Amino acid sequence: MALLLCAVLALGGCSADRRPGPGPEPARIVFVPKVGGIAYFDAMNAGGLQAARELGAHWSTRAPASVDPAAQAAILRQLIGEQVDTIAVAPNDPASLAPVIADARAQGIHVLTTDTDAATSQREVFVNQATPEGIGSAVVDALMAKTGGTGEFAIVSCGQTAANLNAWIDAETAYAAQRYPKAKLVETVYAGEDITTATKLAKQVLDRHPQLTGLIGECTTSAPAVAQAVRDQQKIGQVYTVGAGTPQTMKPYLLDGSCSMTVLWNVESLGYLTAWTAKQLADGSALKPRNNVSPELPAVKYDAATHTILLGNPLLITQDNVDQYKY
């Protein structure tokens, strides 16, 4: 019987187990936002999870507890030790992350930046939500529509080394000087990613500049903060605010007029595009000049010269359309 069995098995290579081996493991993608506990990055995470489910990848988030660049670098080092497939990071300080990104690439781990770039690092792709010029002109136009193109305005930003925010501020400053010469930027302050600090700083700016007519909240924590400061100091209708706030966070301020408009993009779509791009890197698939990412993102542009994939144009959110967005 044993000889007969071996003869039969010999027809199949004389192996007692011909079951196929397990398939390849799903690509492990880890998203490292600037900080945890912020609605903006929660929405990005939701979009990333959706894409991962559809693409057959594994997506997770590893968020630092603060915007300290060292905390973010420590997470990347942990992920290098875990040998994940792709790291998608929104850098707090691009310069300080560059050596860690280089270490990841040396270990064969793919790295992309999203929301914020680290252009001088070895990141492979930047997933950009919108161009600085597009954001800057939209923000300034929204504010100047309320102030009549004149008056003093100030900016409350977040991280002082955040490349995306600094690029937006540069674009806003240049655009305002060229398009609205009767308006004057009087001050820019930085609050990290803390809404309480941003509100306090905005109130101090209002106190220092009694003739102020406008405030820009440059990020998703300072946008509600500048509106709250105007509300607290009872200056609704005297000082106008615009910013880059998430829709449902900004809804109360849009409804009572303490914020005129929030200029953003579909944050869940940014997360989706981030996961999609990370999966392309993990699979070794080249990006095309135009990419059919999903039915909602059928023609996403990629610039090979700068290794940048662009979500699209800014999204203008007012009290009229805010309920279209659930995050």
Average pLDDT, the chain: 93
- CA-nearest of 49, 132, 130, 138 to 301 is 130
- Band of pLDDT at residue 226, cut at 50, 70 and 90: very high
Instruction: Tell me the pLDDT tens digit for each residue of 184-221.
Output: 999 999 999 899 999 999 999 999 999 999 999 999 99
110: left (phi over 0), alpha (psi -120 to 50) or beta: beta
- 3-class SS of residue 308: strand
Per the DSSP assignment, residues forming a β-bridge with 61 are: 31
What is residue 23's predicted lDDT score, i.e. its pLDDT? 58
Stretch 74-82: mean pLDDT, rounded? Answer: 98
Helix pair 69-82, 94-106: axis angle to 10 deg:
10
Stretch 66-92: mean pLDDT, rounded? Answer: 97
What is residue 10's predicted lDDT score, i.e. its pLDDT? 37
Helix pair 132-147, 163-179: axis angle to 10 deg:
50
Stretch 26-48: mean pLDDT, rounded? Answer: 97
Taken in order of first residue, the domains within the chain and their CATH numbers are 28-129+267-312 (3.40.50.2300), 132-264 (3.40.50.2300)
Q: What percent of the chain has pLDDT over 90?
A: 92
Rounded Cα–Cα distance for residues 312 and 129 (Å): 6
- Band of pLDDT at residue 34, cut at 50, 70 and 90: very high
Stretch 95-106: mean pLDDT, rounded? Answer: 97
Contact call for residues 294 and 13 (beta carbons, < 8 A) = no
Query: Where is average pLDDT lowest: 18-22, 138-142, 296-300?
Result: 18-22
Q: Output the CA angle 262-297-41, nearest 5 degrees.
A: 45
What is residue 24's predicted lDDT score, i.e. its pLDDT? 76
- Band of pLDDT at residue 7, cut at 50, 70 and 90: very low
What is residue 35's predicted lDDT score, i.e. its pLDDT? 96
